[in-house]
Amino acid sequence: CLQKTDAFLHRSIGTDVVVAQAEATRSDESDEKNGRKSLHTLHVERQEQAERSVLISCQTSTNEKKFLKYLTKHGEINKYFFYESYGVYAVVEFANQESVASLLEGVAIPGGSHESAVPFKSRLLSLRNLGSVDSSNQLSGWQCQPQTTIPINELIKRLSREESINKQISSLTEAYQLTEENSRLRFLVCSLLKDIATAYFPECTIKPFGSSVNGFGKLGCDLDMLLDLDSISGRNVKLPKSGLSLEYQMKRANSERAVTQSILSVIGKCIDQFGPGCVGVQKILNARCPLVRFAHQPSGFQCDLTANNRVAMKSTELLYLYGELDPRVRSLVFTVRCWARAHGVTSSIPGAWITNFSLTVMVLFFLQKRSPPIIPTLDHLRDLAGPADKSVIEGNDCTFVSDFNKIQLQSNTETQEQLLGEFFEFYATFPFSRMSLNIRKGKEQNKPEVAPLHIQNPFETSLNVSKNVNASQLDRFVALCQESAWLLQQSETSTPRGGGVGDEGAPTPWGLATLLLPSQVAGIKSRKKRRREPASERIKGLLESLKNKNQLKKS
């Protein structure tokens, strides 16, 4: 989140904000019939579930039956699951919110002779000594839901056993995507933090955004949160000609940024001092996008809390919408993100690397450039928007359609395998030095400013989302695309090895698995350490084949 390069850098000071969104009036019914929910509906549902849920630290010796019997005294349970993160935890969702109140009524606040506890009754609880252990039914023997992805070596083995590249792509997506449980846990953490923030702002909400909800999140990704004060600030409400308005209580600051900073400062302090399980709280208020960063230990999430970040929420909605339009969108994004991480094209450390956000926009742009296009341009989505979709944030038009049924897709039948190969070829030969990627128009355009990689911000169109990327990182990306395109064209890579077993009993990597192995490309990573004669020969061949292909296309 610290890496945001444009919107947050240029966040205007004191500009008027107009958000004319009547989200509640949106019609989601027909989408739900098709199994597609708008992000708004998903948020409402998940938030409501989270409000009825508690997070309980358990002993591994806890007996599950007794655990359930104990909790159902407070009411019916809708869903529960266990997971491990510095101990075993359970997420328990009651059918009614009263059950949570009833449960909290009876909880004891621990006290010690040397320490005193802050008497804050949160929904993060600890359950101890439920009685004797029935060894056949201990939690330790119970299925804990995984909250992290399998290591890359495991993934490579799993993929190598698949029969086709299409299956490998689906298998990768399945292994990496957020699970139902992980998504619930993310909303629950937001809800627990909201309980703290409401001490200051009783009607606020805390919403997840970014990859936690945009459909492209990988298990273990960070939790980006937005402290939403819009329902209180009355941005959508016109000042009445008569009647009451807040005056006497209002404190004013000389910019919106200053207000955001002061709000995050107090909430950050509160999280630090009273937030159960929140550790390593850092207030990063002078960043381009002010934020509070901390680790939420019971969930294992690295959290970034921001406020007044409505454009980021809009980008999240847009990415979500694109991901829902065609299953190939999500699987290609997952595959490319995983490939990029395996080769160090992206990194968890901020720097001159390509970010996951930029990479996702690159995939979307590529899919718009297919013939026929797999996804529509953003301008087209704007043209389909109804009055309730209208959204203008700090003078930027962020309007696009939310009703899936209004979007007609063209019938492109390319397979995931074809698209992956074409993706690498597309960017192996893209004229980055002259052109900018523009998903609003679905066309490349002359670069408006000098930057190695120029990707127009979809909503703040004068900005470049990949402003941070330097020339050498772009070169590595291009070289890796060339290598991967070439690898996919080789029959020994692109055909299954019939379950052949290599060293140490592992299946021989093939197809997508080969693309995730350390790169052989000269000049990429550990330049000095690796012997690279065979690679330079291979890459020479690859460049030749790409050149020839390009010439064929042009002629």
Convert residues 458-477 into a mask of x (bound to ligand GTP by CB under 6 A) and - (unbound): -------x------------
Cβ of residue 302: shortest distance to Mg ion, in angstroms?
9
Convert residues 221-240 into a mask of x (bound to Mg ion by CB under 5 A) and - (unbound): -x-x----------------
Cβ of residue 211: shortest distance to ligand GTP, in angstroms?
3
Q: Which of 59, 166, 183, 211 binds Mg ion (CB under 5 A)?
A: 211
514 binds Mg ion (CB under 5 A): no
Cβ of residue 14: shortest distance to Mg ion, in angstroms?
28
Evaluated on CA atoms 184, 121, 259, 23, the torsion sign reads positive
317 binds Mg ion (CB under 5 A): no
Residues 223-262 that bind ligand GTP (CB under 6 A): 224
Rounded distance between C-alpha atoms, residue 390 and residue 84, angstroms: 43
Q: How far is CA 294 from CA 3, 262, 264, 271, 283, in A?
A: 16, 18, 13, 9, 9
Residue 479 gets the label, from left (phi > 0), alpha (psi -120 to 50) or beta, of alpha
What are the DSSP calls for 364-401, one per residue?
Answer: HHHHHTSSS-SS--HHHHHHT--GGG--EETTEE----
315 binds ligand GTP (CB under 6 A): yes
Among Mg ion, ligand GTP, none, the one that 511 touches (CB under a kind-dependent 5 to 8 A) is none
Comparison of 357 and 486: residue with beta carbon closer to ligand GTP: 357
Contact in structure between 82 and 137 (CB atoms under 8 Å): no
Tokens linked to 342: 């395996």
Tokens linked to 42: 């998903």
211 binds ligand GTP (CB under 6 A): yes
Comparison of 465 and 521: residue with beta carbon closer to ligand GTP: 465
Q: Which of 356, 399, 473, 519 binds ligand GTP (CB under 6 A)?
A: 356
- Count of residues near Mg ion by CB under 5 A: 4
359 binds Mg ion (CB under 5 A): no
Rounded distance between C-alpha atoms, residue 162 and residue 498, angstroms: 9
Size of the chain in residues: 555
516 binds ligand GTP (CB under 6 A): no
Q: Which stretch binds Mg ion (CB under 5 A): 197-205, 207-215, 495-503, 515-523?
A: 207-215
Among Mg ion, ligand GTP, none, the one that 43 touches (CB under a kind-dependent 5 to 8 A) is none
156 binds ligand GTP (CB under 6 A): no
Cβ of residue 348: shortest distance to ligand GTP, in angstroms?
8
Comparison of 80 and 301: residue with beta carbon closer to ligand GTP: 301
Q: Which residue from 317, 310, 273, 311 is spatially nearest to 292, judged by alpha carbons?
A: 273
Residues near 21 by Cβ (< 8 Å), separated by ≥ 6?
236, 388, 389, 390, 391
Residues near 193 by Cβ (< 8 Å), separated by ≥ 6?
206, 225, 271, 275, 278, 303, 305
Q: Which stretch binds ligand GTP (CB under 6 A): 70-78, 95-103, 350-358, 503-511?
A: 350-358
Q: Which stretch binds Mg ion (CB under 5 A): 29-37, 168-176, 206-214, 230-238?
A: 206-214
Say how far residue 498 (Cα) sits from the centre of its chain.
35
Rounded distance between C-alpha atoms, residue 495 and residue 178, angstroms: 30
Q: How far is CA 209 from CA 63, 221, 222, 449, in A?
A: 36, 12, 10, 30
Among Mg ion, ligand GTP, none, the one that 356 touches (CB under a kind-dependent 5 to 8 A) is ligand GTP
Contact in structure between 186 and 212 (CB atoms under 8 Å): yes
Q: Which stretch binds ligand GTP (CB under 6 A): 191-199, 208-216, 420-428, 436-444?
A: 208-216
Contact in structure between 305 and 225 (CB atoms under 8 Å): yes
Q: Which stretch binds Mg ion (CB under 5 A): 53-61, 205-213, 331-339, 365-373?
A: 205-213
| Number of H-type helices and E-type strands within the chain | 18, 13
Residues that bind Mg ion (CB under 5 A): 210-211, 222, 224
Interface residues with ligand GTP (CB under 6 A) are 1, 3-7, 209-211, 214, 217, 221-222, 224, 312, 315-316, 355-357, 457, 465
